[in-house]
Structure 1
Amino acid sequence: MERDMMINYPLLENQSEANNNDNYKQGHTSFFKTFFNGLNALSGVGILSVPYALASGGWLSLLLIFTVALAAFYAGLLIKRCMEADSTIRSYPDIGERAFGNSGRRVVSIFMCTELYLVVTGFLILEGDNLNNLFPNLELEVYGVTFGGRDTFVVIVALVILPTVLLDNLSILSYFSATGVLASLVILASILWVGAFEGIGFSSKGDLIKWSGIPTAVSLYGFCYCAHPVFPTLFNSMKQKHHFSRMLLFCFLSSTITYATMAIFGYLMFGPKVNSQITLNLPTNKLSSKVAIYTTLINPLSKYALMLEPVASAAESWFPDYRKKRHFRIFIRTALVSTQVVVAIVVPFFGSLMSLVGAFLSVTASISLPCLCYLKISGDSLRSEKVLVVGTIVISLLIAIFGTYTSLVELVQGTVLRY
């Protein structure tokens, strides 16, 4: 998903500098370009896991993706209203500060940074799984310790990505990240081609409902709609801000149609045997499968550094006396990537990790926090709509509680069985 525009604002305490920048306040982006940027923010690796989400909950759980999309869209509208209520708000952390002071800013920033850190870690898991699927017999021995192919690929990918994380100027990478929408469409088209013309077909019946898998399903659906920290940036950049709500509606409609299409046809193709990444089910000897897999591999590489930058900047801000020194920046960023490699190797379960991110972080940051901030900022002026806002908060908290519990159980059980 993705959150490719997050790099446009810092998550630090000195956000007031941006508030005083007149050029930053001036919007110059057209409706079409803002729509493309918003759709790019909502389109990401979540498309690979929606068939697994549908398989976890059964056919009726497909209704949940529309429920989550509706709640996330409503939360996006509330973010717009919060910004309209105070012209000094320039970013998502600003909304938290406007509502709950410095504590609100810190909470919002912590959720955002943690989410980004784990999503980027999921990129390493995704790359390792898919490369191991393409080249299953690779092993690496270091000082008598043998590493399996998947773990080896995780290390190799991290080494390839590390130089981009150390760059001082990431503007070049932002051009590559704009391919997110096209990449999602290519992946969808390639997988549909495999099903239609490569002998797999769409004949799996599946289950109507699987109650035990509902928390996993709704958590993964929530992961697909976690671009809300980007919305203030999109709002500020838009030339005609009164069209923002319509733009947002088109973004959610387009992304939801894409996600639902992938979920339905992926489940019809592989049924309950679909993996947490549908690309792992594809026959690697087919050209269309290779197109889907290689597109999946290339897309996260272009986004890794952009998404990790706010986390690295926040970490560097903890040491103000050293943050401007080149060697210190290299140390912090190398340490971050190294810890992510360790997490990706120790907890190599893409579906469970993304489910945890979706339930605990994405749903909280994208639905619960906007609603809470809107309640606080609106105050007594909020009347008839208060029931709807509170109801949305309750639903998001239920998703967070049950989804987080289920995801943690799956992660712990999977890790114990692996070792």
Structure 2
Amino acid sequence: MAAAQESPLDKPFLVPGKDEEQQHGGDDGDVTNMEAQLLLPRDSGASSFSRSCLNLSNVISGVGMLSVPYALAQGGWLSLALFALVGAVCYYTGELIARCMRADGDAVKSYPDIGQLAFGRPGRKAIGAVMYAELYLVAISFLILEGDSLNKLLPGASVGLPGGYVFRGKQLFTLVAAVVILPTTWLRDLSVLAYVSAVGLVSSAALTASLVWAGVAEHGLHAKGGNVVNLAGLPTSLSLYFVCFAGHGVFPTVYSSMRNKGDFTKVLLVSSVLCSLNYALTAVLGYLIYGDDVQSLVTLNLPSGKVYTRIAILTTLITPLAKYALVIQPVTTAIEEKLSLAGQRCLTRAVISTTVLVSTVVVACTVPFFGYLMSFIGSSLNVTVAVLFPCLSYLRIYMPRGGVRRAEVAAIVGILVIGACVAVVGTYTSLHQIVSTF
């Protein structure tokens, strides 16, 4: 009875090397983050340096790529300095996560494990709750992305229903995407989708190439405006920049999968630099081409009917379709465990997964503002996972051991202050923008 009532937040999200348990339906395998299936090879601890770089780059490079030109337009050219600062801070906090992983031998396997080591069960539950919320909102952003992109690819589409109600545009394509995604949420083994989701890096490269093509063929590389700095838009810019470097919750999985864990710092540096260059190139190209007219999804600025537009949108569509089930899996499993319905696996999974999908569709159709939602995720959740929690955990674990220098303590406190300010101001700004649109 006690085991049945145990909260899923008390269990690890990311448990590398649990293939055998998962095949037999073990409880720990049920709550394992499905991203681990993408990142980990069959033999845990067997990832080479190059594979680890690829894995970590795939984690860091995500849908934030689509919003960086908008972020640059919001903050102006000088906000690129803030982009570099955010990248440096996220690199440093990623290194702090690695140090926390090494603090207790091989006992720490996941991000919530770090929370338990630092703050006990309350720490595990707190970071678990934030990660569940982040995953849920990311799933919503996937649906918004699908609706916006398909509407750009197939403008003017509509479907009439009996009674005179007509589905059209973004709403129609959000529902279509949900229907396509629904069967994937019923699956227990998502390894096939994991391979498909690996095209994220190809999608990023295709988007950048499409922007170059659009700039040369259509608009030319000249900004229509080009603010040096826009103080009112800086909170939005900062929040979206943090989205670009999100992924710290999966860093422990990459760390645990490495053959030589001492190389993690080098892997993190290589991946961060590569992704930063691609992000910066996309942001600058998008802003140079479209200026202040750039939209929250830069693909919406690309002219309809062009080959490069179709390439950019099609590659952009694949990753959300494949990764929705991967992202939402821990949420549905947590609900299943919380309701103590794990014994009725097939029916329970179908009902809960369908209910969660429907709820994300409702939110996606109600708040169809990709840029604002990503800004909210970046300011409220990504900052917590990528900045606040690593710093607090590191200080909590190492300060009693006398392993933190005063200069480093001062630097971490400064990062905490900046992170807290971004979280408060960015969350307020993004929520105000969302509410003001109604």
CA separation of 1:19 and 1:230: change in aligned 2, threshold 3 A:
closer
Aligned length: 405
The aligned counterpart of 1:106 is 125
The aligned counterpart of 2:405 is 383
User: Which SS does the other structure have where 1:208 is aligned?
Assistant: coil
The aligned counterpart of 1:265 is 285
- Are residue 79 (structure 1) and residue 97 (structure 2) matched? yes
The aligned counterpart of 1:169 is 189
CA distance in structure 2 between the aligned counterparts of 1:134 and 1:283, rounded to whole angstroms: 10
The residue identity in structure 1 corresponding to 2:166 is T
After TM superposition, give the deviation of residue 139 of structure 1 in Å.
2.1
The residue identity in structure 1 corresponding to 2:434 is L
- Are residue 141 (structure 1) and residue 160 (structure 2) matched? yes
Residue of structure 2 aligned with 1:357, choices 367, 377, 389: 377
Structure 2 unaligned regions, length at least 5: 1-6, 21-39
After TM superposition, give the deviation of residue 328 of structure 1 in Å.
1.1
User: Which SS does the other structure have where 2:434 is aligned?
Assistant: helix
Residue of structure 1 aligned with 2:49, choices 31, 49, 54: 31
CA distance in structure 2 between the aligned counterparts of 1:20 and 1:86, rounded to whole angstroms: 18
The residue identity in structure 2 corresponding to 1:43 is S
The residue identity in structure 1 corresponding to 2:143 is L
The residue identity in structure 1 corresponding to 2:421 is L
The aligned counterpart of 1:235 is 255
The aligned counterpart of 1:397 is 420
- Are residue 293 (structure 1) and residue 316 (structure 2) matched? no
The aligned counterpart of 2:347 is 327
CA distance in structure 2 between the aligned counterparts of 1:172 and 1:311, rounded to whole angstroms: 20
CA contact (8 A) 1:98 1:377 kept: yes
CA contact (8 A) 2:17 2:44 kept: no
CA contact (8 A) 1:140 1:149 kept: no
The residue identity in structure 2 corresponding to 1:92 is Y
Deviates more, 1:30-39 or 1:133-142: 133-142
- Are residue 49 (structure 1) and residue 64 (structure 2) matched? no
The aligned counterpart of 1:95 is 114
Residue of structure 2 aligned with 1:366, choices 386, 394, 414: 386
The residue identity in structure 2 corresponding to 1:383 is R
CA contact (8 A) 2:376 2:427 kept: yes
Identity %: 44
CA separation of 1:132 and 1:321: change in aligned 2, threshold 3 A:
closer
Residue of structure 1 aligned with 2:227, choices 207, 222, 225: 207
The residue identity in structure 1 corresponding to 2:92 is Y
CA separation of 1:127 and 1:18: change in aligned 2, threshold 3 A:
closer
CA distance in structure 2 between the aligned counterparts of 1:173 and 1:12, rounded to whole angstroms: 25
The residue identity in structure 1 corresponding to 2:285 is F
After TM superposition, give the deviation of residue 19 of structure 1 in Å.
8.7
CA separation of 1:101 and 1:19: change in aligned 2, threshold 3 A:
farther
CA distance in structure 2 between the aligned counterparts of 1:100 and 1:33, rounded to whole angstroms: 33
CA distance in structure 1 between the aligned counterparts of 2:13 and 2:308, rounded to whole angstroms: 49
Residue of structure 2 aligned with 1:131, choices 133, 145, 150: 150
The aligned counterpart of 1:6 is none
After TM superposition, give the deviation of residue 131 of structure 1 in Å.
1.2
The residue identity in structure 2 corresponding to 1:406 is T
CA distance in structure 2 between the aligned counterparts of 1:48 and 1:14, rounded to whole angstroms: 34
After TM superposition, give the deviation of residue 229 of structure 1 in Å.
0.8
Residue of structure 1 aligned with 2:436, choices 406, 410, 413: 413
Could you give the per-residue CA deviations for residues 35-85 of structure 1, whole angstroms, max 9, x where no partner exists? Answer: 100000011111110000000010001111111111101100000000111
After TM superposition, give the deviation of residue 21 of structure 1 in Å.
6.4
Could you give the per-residue CA deviations for residues 329-386 of structure 1, whole angstroms, max 9, x where no partner exists? Answer: 1111001100000001000000000000000001111111111111111123123211
User: Which SS does the other structure have where 2:389 is aligned?
Assistant: helix
CA distance in structure 2 between the aligned counterparts of 1:337 and 1:45, rounded to whole angstroms: 19
After TM superposition, give the deviation of residue 27 of structure 1 in Å.
1.1
CA contact (8 A) 1:42 1:224 kept: yes
CA contact (8 A) 1:317 1:323 kept: no
CA contact (8 A) 1:83 1:90 kept: yes
CA distance in structure 2 between the aligned counterparts of 1:153 and 1:305, rounded to whole angstroms: 18
CA separation of 1:240 and 1:148: change in aligned 2, threshold 3 A:
same
CA contact (8 A) 1:367 1:396 kept: yes
After TM superposition, give the deviation of residue 134 of structure 1 in Å.
2.2
The residue identity in structure 1 corresponding to 2:94 is G
User: Which SS does the other structure have where 1:206 is aligned?
Assistant: coil
Q: How does 1:113-128 map to 2 (within 5 A)?
A: 113-128=132-147
CA contact (8 A) 2:57 2:275 kept: yes
CA separation of 1:405 and 1:289: change in aligned 2, threshold 3 A:
same
TM-score by length of 1: 0.93
- Are residue 347 (structure 1) and residue 367 (structure 2) matched? yes
TM-score by length of 2: 0.89
The aligned counterpart of 2:30 is none
CA distance in structure 1 between the aligned counterparts of 2:198 and 2:231, rounded to whole angstroms: 38
CA separation of 1:104 and 1:159: change in aligned 2, threshold 3 A:
same
After TM superposition, give the deviation of residue 141 of structure 1 in Å.
3.0
The aligned counterpart of 1:4 is none
CA distance in structure 2 between the aligned counterparts of 1:202 and 1:155, rounded to whole angstroms: 36
CA distance in structure 2 between the aligned counterparts of 1:335 and 1:126, rounded to whole angstroms: 20
After TM superposition, give the deviation of residue 13 of structure 1 in Å.
2.4
The residue identity in structure 1 corresponding to 2:300 is L
After TM superposition, give the deviation of residue 270 of structure 1 in Å.
0.2
CA distance in structure 1 between the aligned counterparts of 2:103 and 2:372, rounded to whole angstroms: 38
The aligned counterpart of 1:13 is 10
